[in-house]
Amino acid sequence: MDGRILSGALFILLAACAAPATPDPRPIQTSAAQTVIANITAQAPTRPQTPPPAASPTAQPTATTPRATPTVAGDKVALAITDKYLMAFHACDNASAPCNDPRNHRTYLAQSNDGAAWKIVPNWTPFIGSVPDVIRRGSKLYIYNPGRVTRYNLETQTLEAATNVAVSGGEMFVDPSPTLDDKGRIVLFFLHGQRGGDPAGCLPNETTCSKRFGSATEVEGSDGARFAVDAGDRAAVTLSGNLRSASDPDIFFDGKRYYLYLSHGASIAVWSANELRGTYMQMTDLPLGFFSNNTGGIPAGHFENNPARFWTYAHVQQRGVAVIRRAVHTDFSRALNENDWTTVLSASLLGLSATTNVESPGFALNAP
C-alpha cells in the first residue's frame, strides 16, 4: 500500500506478472492484512507460506483471468465512476484457489451514493492485488496495493500501468493508507516492516515487542509514487500477553481531529491527534481498549457531515466466507456490538460466487 527489492516476500510474484517497472532497492514484506482474521486471544494466525514460482510474466490473460495489472500505459477505459463514494477491496474465491495466498487476491473498485448500497464500477476489470486502498485527487484516482500504485485519469479515461512506490530512508513498510495534507500532497500511513517474521507480530524469539506506525509525504512531481518518511512515530503499540498483532492503519479526518484505526485481528483500536503528522493517542476508555472487539478488523473510517456521523467499515468471517460490514455511530464512547453492523459488500450482493471472500475495505470520497 515501495520501492523495495522484490525478493523474499509473497508479493514478489505480483510484480513479476506486472508491466515492467524500475526495480526498487528494498524488499517488499508480506502485508499484515493477509493474515486470516482471528480472535486476538487465540494463537497467532497462520501466515501464507512462500508461494511456488509464478507463471511467465509474458503470458497473456484470458477473458476469465484477471490481469496482473489492469492495463498497459495509455489504455482508454471508460469507467463509469459517478457516485459520491468509492471503495477498493479485494476478493478471492475459496473454491478455486487458496485465499491465504495473496497472489490469488483480486482488486475491485466499487461505488455508492449513500455508503450502504454498493456496486462494482461498470467496466471495471479486477486485477491481481491485495489489501488495496484508494484516494482521489483532482481528476485522478490512485489505487494503492503493497508496493504499487495504479492511477486512473477521470478526464481522459486513461488507466495507467501499475508502478512501484518508493519511500526514502530505506524504511520497510506495509499496509499503507493514503490521505491528503493541507497542501494537496498524498500522505501514506503505514506499519514499519521487519525482517525475519510477520511485521504485524513479534519475532519468533520475542515474548513482547513494539509495533511502530509512521507516515510518509509525497515527493513533489512524483504523482504518488515517491515518498519521504516523516520524522517520529504516529503511534506505537506494545504486544504482549493475548495481544499478539497490530496492523492495517487507516487514517481519516472529521474536520477537527484526525483518527487512526489500527487492526488487532478481528478487533479495532482507535487513536487520534490534533495534527496529521502528530503523535496519536489511543482512546483507552473503551472496554479492553477496543472499539470493535472481535466483530470486525482491517477497518476503514469516514466522517459524514450531514448528518454528523462516523462510518466504520470492516470485514469479518460469516459462515465460512468474509464480508464487509458498516457501522454508523456518532462517537467512540462505547464499543460496537453485533447489532451495530450491517453487511454492505458480500459475494451475493456483488454477483460473485457464494464461496468468495470480500475483504479489506479502503474508503474514499469521489470528489476533487
CATH number at residue 192: 2.115.10
Q: Does the pLDDT of residue 48 top 80, yes or no?
A: no
Q: Does the pLDDT of residue 66 top 80, yes or no?
A: no
Classify residue 147: in a domain, yes or no. yes
Buried b (16+ CB within 10 A) or exposed e, 116-135: eebebbeebbbbbbbbbbbb
pLDDT band at 211 (very low <50, low <70, confident <90, very high): very high
pLDDT computed for residue 20 by the predictor: 35
Q: Contact 87/313 with Cβ under 8 angstroms?
A: yes
pLDDT computed for residue 172 by the predictor: 81
For 124-129, what is the mean pLDDT?
A: 93
pLDDT computed for residue 169 by the predictor: 77
Classify residue 2: in a domain, yes or no. no
Classify residue 99: in a domain, yes or no. yes
Q: Which residue has the higher pLDDT, 18 or 116?
A: 116
Q: Does the pLDDT of residue 247 top 90, yes or no?
A: yes
Report the length, in residues, of the chain: 368
DSSP annotation of 285: T
Nearest to 261 by CA among 363, 181, 115, 193: 363
Model's pTM, two decimal places?
A: 0.83
Q: Cell numbers 468471517 label which residue?
A: 317
Q: Does the pLDDT of residue 38 top 50, yes or no?
A: no
For 118-132, what is the mean pLDDT?
A: 94
- What are the start-end ranges of the H helices in the chain? 12-17, 347-350
Cell numbers given for 346: 458480500
Classify residue 121: in a domain, yes or no. yes
Count H helices and E strands in the chain, helices first.
2, 25
Q: Does the pLDDT of residue 30 top 50, yes or no?
A: no
Classify residue 6: in a domain, yes or no. no
Taking every pair of Cα atoms in the chain, the longest distance, rounded to a whole number of angstroms, is 54
For 209-228, what is the mean pLDDT?
A: 97
State which residues form the domain around 48: 12-54+62-365
pLDDT computed for residue 79 by the predictor: 93
Q: Which of 31-35, 156-160, 280-284, 362-366 has the lowest mean pLDDT?
A: 31-35
Dihedral pair phi/psi, residue 49, rounded to 5°: -80, 160
Average pLDDT over the chain, rounded to an integer: 83
Max mean pLDDT among 19-28, 57-66, 122-131 falls in 122-131
pLDDT computed for residue 103 by the predictor: 92
Whole-number Å distance between alpha carbons of 247 and 267: 11
Q: Does the pLDDT of residue 345 top 90, yes or no?
A: yes
Q: Total domain count for the chain?
A: 1
pLDDT computed for residue 76 by the predictor: 80
Classify residue 1: in a domain, yes or no. no
Q: Which of 3-7, 71-75, 249-253 has the lowest mean pLDDT?
A: 3-7
Classify residue 249: in a domain, yes or no. yes
Decide: helix, strand or coil at residue 349.
Answer: helix
**% pLDDT > 70, the chain:** 80
pLDDT band at 51 (very low <50, low <70, confident <90, very high): very low
pLDDT band at 6 (very low <50, low <70, confident <90, very high): very low
**% pLDDT > 90, the chain:** 70
Bond into 307 cis (ω within 30): yes
Q: Which residue type, as a one-letter code, is found at position 286?
A: L
DSSP annotation of 37: P
Classify residue 254: in a domain, yes or no. yes
For 325-337, what is the mean pLDDT?
A: 96
For 190-210, what is the mean pLDDT?
A: 92
Strand (E) or helix (H) holding 250: strand 247-253
